[in-house]
């Protein structure tokens, strides 16, 4: 026996070490806030997928939203060609691109988004001017290379990016390759599922009302990718899926005639 207690498969000594570092760097109030946030996220993740959870969540959401704000629209994946804002590499999480807006209900951590907004928001400004191609994302390039060009995963830009990321986090070469391949295999599972079963909405699959691909509507009406579902969107594009459901997060007032929410 190692003599190390575990909480949720995380060794207690690791938790205590992180807690000490956080107290040193952030102080008591910052640490209390971080612990409370982690507990909320852990509780929510534990409830995710339990019977009736998403139905209850949808009822609660309808107290804050008009149903139309949470109703997906079905569009061709080919209509979503650009990111909202610029392209940039990331040091954690997905390899590249930071979402411009954060949905109020999202449980993201440590992302430098521009603003937190409710679904169906109307926001003025120049946020829709800067656009980068969705095709720049390493994940999408990897899906193309794997399923259109027939590359092995190890030959794709996505695998190489993942491997290098994990290696930069002081993991061994073999572990970095193992973790990178695990991510690629998950993406292959998404591809095989959509190819064999067709594209289904997240609400139909598991009742989750908020995990659809999420877009913003620019002043010229173009749908700009913001967050959620980049795996599914990449695969849908490569498979030539006709229609997919998307949620609209922010619209520019020059498109829909509204007034900006600041």
| pTM of the predicted protein model | 0.77
Contact between 249 and 121 under an 8 Å Cβ cutoff? The reply is: yes
Residue 97's closest CA among 105, 87, 107? 87
Q: Tens of pLDDT along 132-181?
A: 999 999 999 999 999 999 999 999 999 999 999 999 999 999 999 999 99
3-state helix, strand and coil shares in percent for the chain, rounded to the nearest 5: 50, 15, 35
Count the neighbouring beta carbons within 10 Å of the beta carbon of residue 25. 9
Q: What is the pLDDT of residue 12?
A: 56
d(CA 146, CA 140): 10
Query: To 10 degrees, what angle do helices 157-168 and 138-147 make?
Result: 130
Q: What is the pLDDT of residue 190?
A: 97
Give residue 1's Cα distance to chain centre. Answer: 39
Q: Is 257 left (phi over 0), alpha (psi -120 to 50) or beta?
A: left
Cβ-in-10-Å burial (0-12, 13-18, 19+) of 190 comes to: middle
d(CA 253, CA 84): 16
d(CA 55, CA 86): 36
Q: Tens of pLDDT along 79-121?
A: 999 999 999 998 888 899 999 999 999 887 767 888 999 999 9
Q: What is the pLDDT of residue 48?
A: 55
Q: What is the pLDDT of residue 22?
A: 60
d(CA 84, CA 218): 9
Contact between 117 and 249 under an 8 Å Cβ cutoff? The reply is: yes
Reply yes or no on whether the pLDDT at 30 is more than 50: yes
């Amino acid at each position: 026996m190692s003599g190390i207690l575990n909480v949720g498969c995380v060794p207690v000594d690791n938790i205590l070490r992180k807690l000490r570092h956080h107290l040193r760097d952030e102080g008591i109030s910052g640490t209390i806030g971080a612990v409370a946030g982690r507990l909320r996220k852990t509780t929510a993740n534990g409830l995710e997928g339990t019977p009736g959870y998403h139905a209850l969540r949808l009822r609660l959401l309808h107290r804050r939203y008009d149903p139309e704000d949470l109703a997906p629209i079905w569009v061709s994946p080919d209509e979503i060609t650009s990111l909202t804002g610029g392209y940039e590499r990331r040091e954690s999480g997905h390899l590249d691109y930071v979402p411009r807006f954060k949905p109020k209900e999202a449980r993201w951590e440590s992302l430098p988004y521009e603003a937190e907004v409710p679904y169906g928001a109307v926001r003025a400004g120049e946020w829709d001017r800067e656009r980068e191609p969705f095709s720049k994302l390493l994940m999408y390039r990897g899906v193309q290379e794997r399923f259109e060009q027939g590359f092995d995963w190890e030959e794709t830009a996505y695998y190489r990016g993942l491997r290098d990321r994990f290696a930069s986090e002081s993991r061994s070469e073999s572990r970095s390759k193992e973790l990178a391949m695990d991510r690629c295999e998950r993406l292959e599972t998404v591809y095989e599922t959509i190819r064999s079963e067709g594209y289904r909405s997240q609400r139909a699959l598991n009742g989750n009302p908020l995990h659809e691909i999420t877009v913003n509507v620019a002043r010229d009406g173009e749908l700009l990718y913001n967050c959620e579902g980049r795996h599914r969107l990449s695969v849908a594009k490569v498979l030539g899926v006709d229609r997919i459901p998307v949620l609209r997060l922010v619209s520019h007032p020059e498109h829909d005639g509204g007034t900006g929410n600041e």
